[in-house]
Structure 1
């Protein structure tokens, strides 16, 4: 019974520590600064704008998944090895 209490206590403590983190706006350290203004832009983007993922980096799925089994068409380029 004592063998079960210690892992449960450790798991609970780890969960409590993970849940108590403060969330604040991101700012660069005093010794660092944000990257320079991109060419053609009027102002420097802030940290939140730099963290946004561009559409080309994570495109949405455009292929419809098959919902039922279908017979494959003959592929003329599917040749056996020489």
Structure 2
């Protein structure tokens, strides 16, 4: 059992080391490569920060009013009882 615990700790340490090696530098284009094309209808090419910012379709604003008080539910014409089947 001690062997399983030791293997689990080693795997956990390797996962932690792997997760902590990410870069924290700002995004820059690779030397020698062209930047993305200017989108149709845009005056200038978007910057890296513009491309990383989610648009309104990716994060829509909430437009639903929250209920502040309970209300009685109205009559529902489709709320019908189940059909009774003849016994076979």
Q: State how many pairs are aligned.
A: 79
Separation in structure 2 between the aligned mates of residue 36 and residue 66 of structure 1, nearest angstrom: 46
Q: Which has the higher contact order (CA 8 A, sep 6+)?
A: 1
* Alignment partner, residue 85 of structure 2: none
Larger Cα-atom Rg: 2
Aligned to 1:59: 60
Q: 8 Å contact 1:26–1:47 — kept in the other structure?
A: yes
1:64 deviates by: 4.5
TM-score of the pair, normalised by structure 2? 0.60
Segments of structure 2 that go 5 or more residues without pairing to the other structure are 81-88
**TM-score scaled by structure 1?**
0.63
Instruction: Judge conservation of contact 1:34–1:47 (CA < 8 Å) in 2.
Output: no
